[in-house]
Structure 1
Amino acid sequence: MKNQLVQQTKRAFQHHFGDPPESIFLSPGRINIIGEHVDYNDGFVLPAAIDRYICIAITERKDSDICRIIAHDFNDFYEFTISDEMIKAPSVWVNYLLGVVDEINNTGKKLKGLDMVFSGNIPMGSGLSSSAALECGFAYALNNVFNLNFTKEEIVLIGQKAENNFVGVNCGVMDQFASVFGKDDKVVMVNCDSLEYEYFDAKLEDYSLILFDSCIKHTHLTSGYNDRREEVEEGKRIIRNHFPEMVTFRDCSREMLNAVKDELSDKVYKRCLYVIEEIRRVEDAARSLAGKDYEKLGRLLTETHHGLSKEYEVSCPEIDFLVDETLKLEGVAGSRMMGGGFGGCSVNLIKTNDVRQVIDKVKNQYKKAYDIEMNVYEVKISDGTHQYKENEYSI
């Protein structure tokens, strides 16, 4: 799958620009095992990079400051001058790239012109962070091609700031961090405040991670993402008025929240309750992985879905249906909505021997209920953003 994507992107580059690209980079999507919507709420998250990628083929233009970029999957093209002020473009995909250039320009480091083609096999709008993969892959490629000497942490923050400041989505740092720092068969628990992190083994033994794509598409710009962030910030301000020792939500207990409940709207109370409980669940999940207690891990996933659906209110009927039907079946340890919400995928922890039976039953039930053909992604935990070498092993 990886090599097919690389060859497709290389062929497209040669077709458009006449020569093969000088460099190829791969930047993965991600799943989040647990810790949804807490990356911007002071919490820990537990993501992993997966074997679905944005592939970038790129060549420096030594004679020009012009950048020519082709989005192969969209059959679209954009050209700009690297030294000009970056101005938003009509095409959404362009703005992720312009945002990266804008952030690098703000550091004072010098970029030059380039020719580039990118393509991917990360399903868009499914909660697998294709946008973060594109941002970080582009930043990583520019860092290598132009010898900018950014650290991996700096590349992560360039990707996040591009989305915050240029695209206009107040996302946290998790997606970009997972894309850059992923490792084979490892999840990474990240403190999204300090960017401190710790890897945990995630071979999962007799279990598999299976994604059920509801085929209900969303974007963070239209899904209420920014509204949720404002509601939680309102709750934090009120709690701090009574408990000034609270620096972050990691310092906040359910008892503290309940002490100020009368000053919170029902909506703000529920949002804060979800965040406090989810921060606890992430730490419990990391311990469960370390202890190979996959049944407990599954129960935590299911608790998270309840919180996302009923407290944070970012689910939708189709995703709730997928989770409910999946949890009825033998071999399922846990199931939950994944990603920003209002569509996308559920992530399911299923005994490997039962995977095929569960997929068949849920697909049939979903088709009957919504007349939608559910897509299924069997994913493996993979390495993070990297330069592709011709002898790189791939299945």
Structure 2
Amino acid sequence: MKKKLIQHTSEHFEKILQKTPEYIFLSPGRINIIGEHIDYNDGFVMPAAINKYICFAISKNDTSECTLIAKDLNEAYKFDLNDDLKPIDKMWANYILGVLYQLKERGFAMNGFNIVFSSTIPMGAGLSSSAALECGIAYAMNTLFDLGLTKEEIALIGQKAEHTFAGVNCGIMDQFASVFGKKNSVIKLDCNTLDYEYYKADFKKYSLLLLDSNVKHTHLTSGYNVRRQEVEQGLAIIKQHFSEVKTFRDCSEKMVLELREKLGDTVFKRCHFVVKEIQRVLDATTALTQADFKKLGKLMSETHEGLSKEYEVSCDEIDFLVDAVQHEKSVLGSRMMGGGFGGCSINLVEKGSENELIERISQQYRNAFGIELKPYKIKISKGTTLYKN
């Protein structure tokens, strides 16, 4: 798949621009094993880069003109790097423009370039194709123009681009995973300090399987921003009653339960989920260290229950996919992954059982919703890189 993607992207570059690209970059999508919706709630998350990529074929030119070609969309956008960069009506281009804007703001000098990109990261499946695009561009600019950025700076520039040019107030997890990914390792990331540790993710006789619901409900962005307001409101109330609380990390389940009435039903549920999920990530690192995959699977399923009933960011289709595997002997755990309201479920399953499981669940899902399920067997891979032939 990877070789094919690189070949197709390079060939398209040569066909359109009549020359061979100087550089090829690969920027991966990501999964999150556990720690959902707490990257912006001062928690820990456990993401990993996966073997689905955006491939960038790039060459510098001697002008200030830039040409962006989105091969999969059959669209292009041209602009002058010296002009004021502003969001436009092509969302895919905004992720790139947002990164270039951040680099210009920081005073970095760049020249024009031509770029063709193509992807094997499914769009709208919650695998962070946007972060892969942002970080791939920042990484490429860093290499092309010798900007001297650290990996951490690349991730932060990607995040800022998404805030300003795409209007999504995302946490840092997606960009961090895309840049810092390491083969066969998950990252335990502290979203406050950006301290991180790698944990070996050798799942032995188990593998990760994503089941893409093929739905993306439109209230993702609005629902996401509302959740952020609700938890901020909740934290403010908790702080009033417990002076030692600075962030949700200082907060115990007992505190939240004590303030149930003051928080009100909805805000209580949101805060209760956050506090429990922060603890689940810590428990998951122990489970991984001890290679206790049954425990890890159980934690994943508990996360889904919280996301569905307390944080209320799931949807009927994803709940169906998670419920459908709960009694399968070959499945240790399953949960919704990503922002919610559609996208994928992530499943920890016995190796060798995947095809039969996919067939069975696909049939059930088709009968229930009339929608085709898309399965993705994935491996944990390294982060954004310059591809060397």
Query: TM-score with structure 1 length normalisation?
Result: 0.97
Could you give the per-residue CA deviations for residues 258-293 of structure 1, whole angstroms, max 9, x where no partner exists? 222222121111111111000000011111011000
SS of 1:136's partner is helix
Q: Matches of 1:242 and 1:228 in 2, distance apart?
A: 22
Matches within 5 A, 1:36-51: 36-51=36-51
Matches within 5 A, 1:372-383: 372-383=371-382
What residue in structure 2 maps to residue 5 of structure 1? Answer: 5
Task: Please state how far the C-alpha of 1:219 moved relative to its aligned partner.
Answer: 6.4
Q: RMSD between aligned alpha carbons?
A: 1.1
Q: Matches of 2:321 and 2:114 in 1, distance apart?
A: 42
Quickly say closer, same or farther: Cα 1:312–1:354, change in 2 above 3 A.
same
SS of 2:353's partner is helix
Matches within 5 A, 1:216-235: 216-218=215-217, 222-235=221-234
Structure 1, unpaired ranges of 5+: 391-395
Quickly say closer, same or farther: Cα 1:210–1:228, change in 2 above 3 A.
same
Could you give the per-residue CA deviations for residues 73-96 of structure 1, whole angstroms, max 9, x where no partner exists? 100011111122111110110110
What residue in structure 2 maps to residue 52 of structure 1? Answer: 52
Task: Please state how far the C-alpha of 1:16 moved relative to its aligned partner.
Answer: 1.2
What residue in structure 2 maps to residue 296 of structure 1? Answer: 295
Give yes or no for the alignment of 1:30 onto 2:27.
no
SS of 2:115's partner is strand
Q: Matches of 1:242 and 1:28 in 2, distance apart?
A: 43
Q: Matches of 2:12 and 2:87 in 1, distance apart?
A: 26
Task: Please state how far the C-alpha of 1:221 moved relative to its aligned partner.
Answer: 5.7
Q: Matches of 2:272 and 2:221 in 1, distance apart?
A: 24
Task: Please state how far the C-alpha of 1:144 moved relative to its aligned partner.
Answer: 0.4
The code of the aligned residue for 2:209 comes to I
Matches within 5 A, 1:91-130: 91-130=90-129
Could you give the per-residue CA deviations for residues 298-355 of structure 1, whole angstroms, max 9, x where no partner exists? 0000000000000110000000000000112121100000010000000000111322
Q: Matches of 1:75 and 1:366 in 2, distance apart?
A: 32
CA contact (8 A) 1:125 1:219 kept: no
SS of 1:137's partner is helix
Deviates most, 312-321 or 327-336: 327-336
How much identity, in percent, do the aligned residues show? Answer: 56
Task: Please state how far the C-alpha of 1:224 moved relative to its aligned partner.
Answer: 1.0
Quickly say closer, same or farther: Cα 1:101–1:218, change in 2 above 3 A.
farther
Matches within 5 A, 1:232-381: 232-381=231-380
What residue in structure 2 maps to residue 20 of structure 1? Answer: 20
Structure 2, unpaired ranges of 5+: none
The code of the aligned residue for 2:268 comes to Y
SS of 1:216's partner is strand
The code of the aligned residue for 2:302 comes to E
Task: Please state how far the C-alpha of 1:232 moved relative to its aligned partner.
Answer: 0.6
The code of the aligned residue for 2:315 comes to C
What residue in structure 2 maps to residue 207 of structure 1? Answer: 206
Task: Please state how far the C-alpha of 1:223 moved relative to its aligned partner.
Answer: 5.0
CA contact (8 A) 1:13 1:57 kept: yes
Matches within 5 A, 1:168-179: 168-179=167-178
Task: Please state how far the C-alpha of 1:220 moved relative to its aligned partner.
Answer: 7.4
Give yes or no for the alignment of 1:186 onto 2:185.
yes
CA contact (8 A) 2:12 2:116 kept: yes
Q: Matches of 1:349 and 1:387 in 2, distance apart?
A: 31
The code of the aligned residue for 1:327 comes to Q
What residue in structure 1 maps to residue 82 of structure 2? Answer: 83
CA contact (8 A) 1:69 1:79 kept: yes
Q: Matches of 2:332 and 2:222 in 1, distance apart?
A: 29
Quickly say closer, same or farther: Cα 1:365–1:221, change in 2 above 3 A.
closer
The code of the aligned residue for 2:92 comes to W
The aligned length equals 389
The code of the aligned residue for 1:169 comes to V
The code of the aligned residue for 2:114 comes to D
Could you give the per-residue CA deviations for residues 27-81 of structure 1, whole angstroms, max 9, x where no partner exists? 000000000100011000001000000111111112x111110000100011111
Regions of 4+ moved over 4 Å:
218-221
The code of the aligned residue for 1:2 comes to K
Query: TM-score with structure 2 length normalisation?
Result: 0.98
CA contact (8 A) 1:223 1:342 kept: no
